[in-house]
Structure 1
Amino acid sequence: MAIDQSDIRSSASYSTVRKSASEGRAQNKRTAFLCHSHLDADLAKGLQGYLHRNGWEVYIDWEDATMPERPERRTAEKIQAKIRDLEMFFFLATQNSMGSRWCPWEIGYADGVKSLDRILVIPTRDARGVTHGNEYLEIYRHLDKASTGGIGSFDAAGKGIRLSGNQTL
C-alpha cells in the first residue's frame, strides 16, 4: 500500500531542522536519513514533520549548512557518513526519486552498510492515483499506516512492526 502524497504534505508545519544524530539521540529520539529527490522538498518536509511528531529526528541533506553548495566528492562523503551514523535509512519513493541520479546511489550505499531491517521504503501515491516505487524496492521493508493506528514497518508479506503512536498520516 502507498501513502497519499497529500497526507504527507499536510504535516510540513511540524517539521524541524536537526543537524546531527547526537541531538536527536540526546533527546531519546530515533534518527533517520531521508533519501528523496530535491524536487519533492514539500514531501520531504511533510514526512519530516510527521515523523518528528512521532518521536523521530529526520535528517534532510539540503538543511545541512555544512554541505557543499554544489554536489562534489565531499557531498558524497558527507552523505555516506550520515547514512552510516543515523539509525535508519528512509527512501521516499516518488516519480522524482525514481528518476533521480542520487537516490538509487544512496539506497545502494545504505544497502551495503546497514542491515535490511534498518532500510525502509515509503511508497507514495500521487494525485492521479499512481503509486511510486520500483519492484527492486520490494526487497526492503516499507513504511505504511498500521491497522491499529500510527505507522508501521512492514515486509513484503505484510508482517509489521509498529513505529509510532496513534497519530496517522
Structure 2
Amino acid sequence: MTFYTEAQVRAEGRRAGSLVHGGVQEALRKSARFDQYDIFLSHSFRDAEVILGVKKILEKTGRSVYVDWIDDAQLDRSAVTPETANLLRTRMNQSLSLVYAHSESSTTSKWMPWELGYFDGHRSGQAIAIMPLVSSASARPSGQEYLGLYPRIEELQSDGRQVPYVVRRPAGILEWKSLADLGRATSSFRRIVNGR
C-alpha cells in the first residue's frame, strides 16, 4: 500500500488533458455533468493537473466526482461569500462522500477546513476520507492533526493492479473499505489477512 504522489496524479492529469483539444482545462470542463455525486472533492484549486489526476483516479472506480470550479465554473473561490457557501452546501448535500485531497497547498485553503467540518456534521465522519498527495513515494503526509480523525485513501493491490481504497490502521492492523462503502457511510472495514 502506498500514498499517491503529486507526480503520479499530475501524470494522470496530463494524460487526460493530452487526449482533449484544449488540454487540461477543457478536459476538466467536459467532465462536469452531474447533479448528484458520489464524491465531493475538497481540494486546493492551485494545480489543475493534480486535481484532474485525482478526479480521474477516483472516477476509474466508477464514482462520480464533484469539483467546484469544474461543475460550477461561475464560483469565485478566492472570495468568501454567502452565495459561494450556499452553493457549496448544496453540492455537499448532493454528495454521498467527501474526499479531502491533502497537499502542501491545502494548508492555505480558505474553504477546505470549512468543507470538512460542514460535511462531517452533515453526513458524519464515516463518509469522509483524506487523500494524502505526497512529494515522493518515501514521503509521509503531515499537516493538521485533525486530519488523523479520518481514514485515508491509499493504493492497494487488487487483481494485479493498484486501486484506491479507504484504509485505517487501528493498533497497527491494516483495515480497508471501498470508495462505494465510503459513500454508504458504513463503519465496517475489512482486515487484510495473509497479505490480502
State, as a whole percentage, how many aligned pairs show the same letter: 24
SS at match of 2:46: helix
- Give yes or no for the alignment of 1:18 onto 2:32: yes
Query: CA separation of 1:3/1:76 partners in 2, compared to 1, >3 Å: closer, same or farther?
Result: same
Question: How many pairs does the alignment contain?
Answer: 157
Partner Cα separation in structure 2 for residue 106 and residue 65 of structure 1: 16
Query: TM-score scaled to structure 1, two decimals?
Result: 0.80
In structure 1, list runs of 5 or more residues that go unmatched.
25-30, 165-169
**Residue 150 of structure 1 contacts residue 162 of structure 1 at CA under 8 Å; is this kept in 2?**
no
Structure 1 residues 88-118: Cα deviation after superposition (integer angstroms, max 9, x where no partner): 1010001111221211111111111012221
Cα deviation, 1:31-61, whole Å, max 9, x if unaligned, reads 1111101113221110111222221111110
User: Does the Cα contact within 8 Å between 1:93 and 1:132 map onto a contact in 2?
Assistant: no
Is the 2:39–2:99 contact (alpha carbons within 8 Å) kept by the matching residues of 1? yes
Q: Which structure's CA Rg is the greater one?
A: 2
* Letter aligned with residue 6 of structure 1: A
Match of 1:139 in 2: 149
Q: Given the alignment of the two structures, is residue 162 of structure 1 paired with residue 169 of structure 2, yes or no?
A: no
Asked if the contact 2:69/2:75 (under 8 Å) is kept, the reply is no
Gaps of 5+ in 2: 17-26, 181-196
Give the partner amino acid of 1:154: V
What is the CA-CA distance between 1:138 and the residue it aligns to?
1.0
Q: CA RMSD in A?
A: 2.3
- Is the partner of 1:6 in helix, strand or coil? helix
TM-score of the superposed pair, with normalisation by structure 2: 0.70
Paired residue type of 2:89: Q
CA contact (8 A) 2:68 2:75 kept: no
